[in-house]
Amino acid sequence: MKKLCNIIMGCLPEVERGYLLKNLIGEQAMKPDACIGLPGDMVSPGRTYVRGAGGVRIFGEKAGVRWGKEELDCFPSEEALFISGDEEELYAAAKAGMAHIRYLPPQAEAREQRDAGQEVLYGTADLCAEGFEEVGFSYLVHVYERHHGIPWTILETERCVVKEFSLAYLDALFELYAGEGMTDYMEPLFEYEKEKEYQKAYIEHVYRFYGYGTWIVCRKDSGKLIGRVGIEHREELSGEPELGYAVGVPYQGQGYATEVCRAVLSYAKEELGMRKMNCLIEPGNDISFQLASKLGFARAGTMRAGGKEMERYILFMD
């Protein structure tokens, strides 16, 4: 199983390097088995690193000494993430097959570089960052996972894990939707091959662009797929987010929807900065009406969406 073990910092402004180190070390108190420790030994001339109890190391660079492809090849590419604002270093990291983050200097600084004849190339990178003041280890892990196509684990509740869909769950998804009454108030799946292509595109474009979408819900104890939940955008809502959920027939009436939706709403507020959530429910879906009320949504009239007349519920998360 792929795992991020080495975080390599190339040429970065000292202040940005300081933010990153402070955040990584700060997370040690919260996740001592997954973060770095205090500064330690020299690993090679001009290269220092800090080591963590969980086996994660972060490597720095000596001023004026670039990381080259030969040196980066010493690291297994499937275990490393490279961070730099230097084009030559980033090119070397890309050639080495590493996940990498490009630091983008402030506009004024970038303009000075261009005026001085230094070409600034914004080519392919897994992420472009304008600063690292709020970037920590868990964020870097997400960038690394996206590069390697590893589905993100979004959150956990007492009984469930909410994570991104992967094609390994495609058969289980069809089994879930085959339950009696499952598609009474939601769209059915496409035929198998078309659904497979749709999900591939969804993973590549929606997850990568937004960082969220429709996820799957699995039981912690068995890993079995029991439902779906997520945050989507409808054109009819003018870009406002909408909460969606579905629980498989064998698991209905056991509080799973309430448990998971509450956790997703908290995630939307705390992690995504959302302050308003919509819920569109088809008339006759009394169970969803009850759940929306239990979650704190208030009815806000009706509207046309997806070719149907829908009841609109709104939750303000201030």
CATH, residue 60: 3.40.50
Least confident of 4-13, 23-32, 67-76, 245-254: 23-32
The pLDDT score that the predictor gives to residue 64 is: 65
Residue 170 CA to residue 102 CA, distance in Å, equals 34
In a domain, 1, yes or no: no
Give the pLDDT confidence of 80-109 residue by residue, as tens digits: 999 999 999 999 999 999 999 999 887 645
| Phi and psi angles of residue 187, each rounded to the nearest 5 degrees, phi first | -70, 140
User: Beta strands of the chain (E only): which ranges?
Assistant: 6-9, 39-44, 47-51, 57-59, 80-84, 99-103, 127-129, 153-156, 160-163, 214-219, 225-233, 241-247, 276-281, 298-305, 308-316
Amino acid occupying residue 270: E
Per the listing, tokens 């630091």 go with: 103
Strand partners, 95: none
* pLDDT at residue number 40: 43
**Structural domain includes residue 66:** yes
Mean pLDDT of the chain: 86
161 and 217 share a domain?
yes
Confirm if 134 and 23 have CB atoms less than 8 A apart.
yes
**111 has pLDDT over 60:** no
What's the domain count of the chain? 2
The predicted pLDDT at position 32 comes to 43
Q: How confident is the model at residue 208 (pLDDT cuts 50, 70, 90)?
A: confident
Q: Give the total residue count for the chain.
A: 318
> Pairing state of beta strands 80-84 and 6-9?
parallel
Q: Of 119, 147, 175, which residue constitutes the final position of a domain?
A: 147
Are 137 and 10 members of one domain?
Answer: yes
178/115 same-domain check: no
Are 283 and 158 within one domain? Answer: yes
Q: What CA–CA distance (Å, rounded) separates 239 from 105?
A: 30
| pLDDT higher than threshold 50 for residue 182 | yes
Higher pLDDT, 110 or 30: 110
Give the C-alpha separation, 295 to 83, whole Å: 41
Provide the pLDDT for residue 256: 97
Q: Which domain holds residue 11?
A: 6-147
- Same domain membership, residue 304 and residue 170: yes
Q: Specify the pLDDT at position 52.
A: 58
pLDDT mean over 126-132: 90
Do 43 and 73 have their domain in common? yes
With 90 as the cut, is the pLDDT of residue 254 above it? yes
Averaged over 195-205, what is the pLDDT? 94
pLDDT, tens digit (0-9, with 9 covering 90-100), for 23-69: 887 665 435 444 444 444 434 555 556 665 566 888 876 666 788 88
The type of residue at 237 is: L
Q: At what angle do helices 192-201 and 170-177 cross, to 10 degrees?
A: 120
Domain boundary, last residue among 101, 130, 147 = 147
With 0-12 CB in 10 A as exposed, 13-18 as middle and 19+ as buried, what is 15?
exposed
pLDDT over 70, % of the chain: 84
- Cβ-based neighbours of 39, under 8 Å, separated by 6 or more: 48, 50
Q: pTM for this structure?
A: 0.80
Residue 59, strand partner residues: 8, 49
Report d(CA 51, CA 39) in Å as an integer.
7
- Residues whose CB is less than 8 angstroms from the CB of residue 24 and which lie 6 or more positions away in sequence, other chains included: 7, 35, 36, 58, 136, 137
Question: For position 85, what pLDDT does the model report?
Answer: 92
Which of 127, 147, 167 delimits the end of a domain?
147
pLDDT at position 59 is 83
Which residues does 211 contact at the CB level (< 8 Å), separation at least 6? 142, 272
